């Protein structure tokens, strides 16, 4: 007689199988909890971290410091705490700005990493790599290995990256030709840029290339040179150079005087508004820079006159022997004649024999020797700072 088969209790087997799995899970969670405690996370933070996926928990546990979870939870976020912390440490931006950028970046991270754009690279340069430009990088579908030589050029604009690559020009020539035809005012286009490092000694400030309304040089000081109506103020390096030029000129019988120098954004706006109220618009535009586009705001430009003009011996500074001496010797002190004759189309300004700009001795000598203006120097050497397309 055959033996009766025992009925298999599948439910019981399933429970028996699950028990060790659950136990292992609880053990892992408990170990994670312990490790978080050891690192210094409080109970509230641990409760949040333990709800994250395993990869993010792993990153938090391997971070060499405690992340302030509560700080990031003050705003709505997608729980990318390690990335928030990393980006903040690189930029010191406010919490909401960090969360916005990181959450938007995270959605694009896989595509960007695939093209070779690393998180470190993009975070470090996020003042240029906005969310819109990240989308441009993805849509262009050009690997970083092909774009990096163009992106390394100061002033490169991500929106033009495909045109740079397609141009087959050298990186510098590609960037300048595609993005900056307006360096030469005769070729000015509709683009305008904001200079991100207005303190740079070689900042090209003119219509189309501006600085922020809140920019004021941190090292402005009075210049120890006679002045016509108000004490001259320049950045320290330029002030020191002008003082030396003044003293050396005196030794040779030349007596220069400051007519005007640093001008704030607010003061430039007042001058600009007054000109437009009392002059024809085209005439005013050629004589007065748009607020933010006057290099007076950078504290490196000075308008000169001479004692002979003040005494009525000469009508203008350009007629004086003092001007001829300054024009011939200014480069030795780091100054250039900013708006010479026969360069108005390129500079966008009429001839101003009284207007000198500090650029440093090395650059001033090259500009003087080659009979250039600042625009020529930039077109040959490129920018030494980055710019944001407005």
Q: For position 211, which CATH number holds? A: 3.30.1380.10
Query: Per the structure block, which two tokens stand in for 73?
Result: 């939870």
In-domain check, residue 312: yes
Is the residue at 79 inside a domain? no
Q: Encoding tokens for residue 68? A: 């302030």
Determine, yes or no, domain membership for 2.
no
The sheet carrying 335-339 orders its strands as 256-260, 301-306, 352-358, 335-339
DSSP β-ladder status, 301-306 and 352-358: antiparallel
- Range among 205-214, 263-272, 339-348, 363-372 with highest mean pLDDT value: 363-372
> pLDDT at position 283, please?
62
Report yes or no on 299 lying in a domain: yes
- Tell me: the pLDDT tens digits for 45-68? 999 999 998 899 999 999 999 999
How many Å apart are CA 227 and CA 101, to the nearest integer?
49
Whether 172 maps to a domain, the answer reads no
Q: For the segment 95-142, what is each residue's pLDDT rounded down to a tens digit?
A: 999 999 999 999 999 999 999 999 999 999 888 888 889 999 999 999
Residues 155-177 pLDDT 10s: 999 999 999 999 999 999 999 99
Asked, for residue 373, whether it belongs to a domain, the answer is: yes
Mean pLDDT of the 255-279 span: 87
Residues 77, 79: Cα–Cα separation, whole Å: 6
Is the confidence at residue 26, as pLDDT, over 50? no
Question: Helix, strand or coil for residue 198?
Answer: coil
Residue 89 belongs to some domain of the structure: no
Q: Say yes or no to pLDDT of 365 above 80.
A: yes
Q: Residue 99 falls within a domain, yes or no?
A: no
DSSP state, residue 116: T
Is the pLDDT confidence value at 2 over 90?
no
DSSP secondary structure, 202-271, as one string: T---BTTEE--TT---TTEEE-SS-BSSS--EEEHHHHHHHHHHHHHHHHTT--EEEEE----HHHHHHH
Q: How far is CA 157 from the centre of its chain?
A: 12
Query: Is 77 within 8 Å of 71 (Cβ atoms)?
Result: no
Tokens of residue 270, six digits: 């007042």
| Type and span of the H or E element at 120 | helix 119-124
In the chain, the number of structural domains is: 1
What average pLDDT does range 278-286 have in this prediction? Answer: 65
Q: Are 153 and 164 in contact (CB under 8 A)?
A: no
Task: Give which of 220, 262, 226 is closest to 243, Cα–Cα.
Answer: 226
Q: Which residues of 220-238 are buried (b: 16+ CB within 10 A; e: fewer)?
A: bbebebbbbeeebbbbeeb
- Ranking 28-32, 55-59, 203-207 by mean pLDDT, the lowest is 28-32
HSE value, Cβ hemisphere, 13 Å, CA-based, for 30: 6
Domain boundaries, position 214: 190-389
pLDDT at 24: 42
Whether residue 23 has pLDDT greater than 50: no
Q: What's the CA gap between 174 and 352, in Å, rounded?
A: 32
């Amino acid at each position: 007689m055959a033996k009766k088969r025992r009925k298999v209790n599948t439910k019981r087997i399933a429970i028996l199988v699950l028990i060790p799995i659950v136990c292992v899970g609880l053990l892992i969670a408990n170990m994670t909890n312990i490790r978080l405690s050891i690192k210094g996370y409080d109970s509230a933070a641990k409760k949040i971290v333990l709800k994250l996926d395993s990869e993010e928990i792993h990153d938090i546990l391997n971070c060499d410091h405690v992340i302030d979870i509560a700080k990031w939870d003050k705003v709505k976020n997608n729980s990318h705490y390690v990335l928030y912390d990393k980006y903040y440490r690189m930029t010191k931006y406010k919490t909401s700005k960090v969360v916005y950028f990181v959450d938007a970046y995270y959605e694009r991270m896989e595509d960007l990493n695939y093209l070779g754009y690393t998180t470190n690279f993009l975070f470090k340069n996020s003042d240029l790599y906005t969310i819109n430009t990240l989308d441009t990088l993805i849509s262009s579908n050009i690997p970083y290995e092909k774009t990096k030589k163009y992106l390394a050029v100061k002033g490169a604009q991500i929106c033009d990256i495909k045109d740079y690559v397609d141009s087959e020009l050298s990186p510098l020539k590609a960037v300048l030709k595609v993005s900056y035809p307006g360096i030469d005012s005769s070729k000015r286009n509709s683009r305008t840029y904001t200079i991100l490092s207005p303190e740079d000694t070689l900042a090209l400030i003119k219509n189309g290339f501006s600085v922020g309304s809140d920019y004021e040089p941190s090292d402005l000081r009075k210049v120890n040179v006679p002045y016509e109506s108000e004490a001259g103020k320049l950045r320290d390096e330029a002030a020191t150079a002008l003082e030396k030029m003044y003293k050396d000129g005196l030794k040779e019988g030349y007596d220069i005087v400051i007519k005007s120098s640093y001008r704030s954004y607010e003061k430039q706006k007042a001058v600009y508004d007054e000109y437009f109220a009392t002059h024809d618009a085209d005439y005013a535009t050629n004589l007065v820079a748009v607020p933010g586009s006057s290099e007076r705001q950078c504290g490196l430009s000075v308008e000169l006159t001479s004692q002979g003009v003040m005494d009525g011996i000469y009508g203008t500074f350009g007629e004086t022997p003092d001007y001829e001496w300054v024009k011939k010797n200014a480069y030795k002190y780091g100054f250039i004649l900013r708006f010479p004759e026969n360069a108005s189309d390129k500079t966008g300004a009429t001839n101003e024999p009284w207007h000198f700009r500090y650029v440093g001795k090395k650059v001033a000598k090259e500009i003087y020797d080659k009979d250039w203006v600042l625009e020529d120097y930039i077109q040959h050497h490129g920018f030494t700072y980055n710019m944001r397309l407005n």
